[in-house]
Amino acid sequence: MEIGTHTRFCGVIGNPVEHSLSPAIHNAAFRSLGIDCVYLAWKVERIGDAIRGLRALGNFRGASVTIPHKVSAMPFLDEIEPTAGRIGAINTIVAEEGRLIGYNTDATGALRALRDGGVALAGRRIVMLGSGGAARAIAFALAAESGAEKLVILGVDDAERTALADDLRSKTAFPVDDDTLDESTLRRVVPEAHVLIHCTPLGMFPKADTSCVPASLLHAGLAVMDIVYNPKVTRLLTDARRAGCLTIPGLEMFLHQAVAQFELWTNRQAPVDVMRAVLESHFT
């Protein structure tokens, strides 16, 4: 399909975005359904200026929002969907009749990835590493639907981590603890955990050979999900497989949250098989 004056556009807003596979999967999905839309990647530091610029462009349909803007983008939108409002972070913007509306598809994407991967959540002790926008979404999704025994949040940003823990305590009845993400804390909490969810950028391409979890702490019976999807198998997942853990790659969460985004922008059922095939092709 030729790009013309009526072509609409979407894109990913973040920093960095060089690693993003969002353009590949969304453009393939648009083509497969014959939708006159293109998807771009925008490296953005000044989020308010970027959103004001996109607002001024008539063919703008929506955006994915990634690190580090999932929280900071919210004040620049006209409306926040209620679930995203409770989470306190967005990952999706939809332009509707001149208004910009924020959504969060990370939450449903993460739960779908965990459940499809065979991870039992009810009655389990869950440790989450990181406290940014994606961690917020996953934590609130766990609080709403998992039936877990307890969530322990570990993060290096004290203010961000305690804000998330306090929000969960005030808005839900979910038992939550929080502490500093360092080796001594990991040695205390990981041996007793059933599920470990990694939500920091550590291990992302190009710094792929890094992990914040010592391999010696990983144990059979622990399920490990890393939301980093590039590389497909991170250092953490490699270590977890060697330890006999059930592992869930970030590709699964990434796919499911992208499917939900596509459907918000197009009001069409996403071609999931096409999107999955494009993702898999980048790692063969």
Tell me the per-residue pLDDT of 35-69, one tens digit each, with 9 for 90 and over.
999 999 999 999 999 999 999 999 999 999 998 99
* 3-state SS class at 239: helix
The pLDDT of 168-191, averaged and rounded, is: 96
Question: In which residue ranges of the chain is CATH 3.40.50.720 found?
Answer: 107-248
Q: Cα separation of 170 and 159, whole Å? A: 16
Asked if pLDDT for residue 24 goes beyond 90, the answer is: yes
Tell me the per-residue pLDDT of 67-101, one tens digit each, with 9 for 90 and over.
899 999 999 999 999 989 989 999 999 999 999 99
Q: Cα separation of 174 and 147, whole Å? A: 9
- The mean pLDDT of the chain is 95
Active site residues: 70
Q: Which among 265, 261, 283 has a CA at the least distance from the CA of 91?
A: 261
Question: In which residue ranges of the chain is CATH 3.40.50.10860 found?
Answer: 8-104+253-281
Torsion of CA 127, 129, 134, 137, to 10 degrees: 30
Check residue 284 and give its pLDDT.
62
Q: What whole-number percentage of the chain has pLDDT above 70?
A: 99
CATH node for 107-248: 3.40.50.720
Tell me the per-residue pLDDT of 218-274, one tens digit each, with 9 for 90 and over.
999 999 999 998 899 999 999 999 999 999 999 999 999 999 999 999 999 999 999
Asked if pLDDT for residue 1 goes beyond 80, the answer is: no
**pTM of this prediction exceeds 0.85:** yes
Tell me the per-residue pLDDT of 134-148, one tens digit each, with 9 for 90 and over.
999 999 999 988 899
- Side-chain half-sphere exposure of 80, counting CA atoms within 13 A: 19
Q: Which among 213, 243, 256, 2 has a CA at the least distance from the CA of 112?
A: 256
Q: What whole-number percentage of the chain has pLDDT above 90?
A: 87
Choices 3.40.50.10860, 3.90.550.10, 3.40.50.300, 3.40.250.10: CATH for 8-104+253-281: 3.40.50.10860
Distances (CA, A) of 207 to 25, 69, 231: 23, 21, 10
* 3-state SS class at 93: strand
Residue pair 167/161 in contact by the 8 Å Cβ criterion:
no
Tell me the per-residue pLDDT of 7-21, one tens digit each, with 9 for 90 and over.
999 999 999 998 889
Check residue 133 and give its pLDDT.
87
Do strands 92-96 and 60-65 pair parallel, antiparallel, or not at all (unpaired)? antiparallel
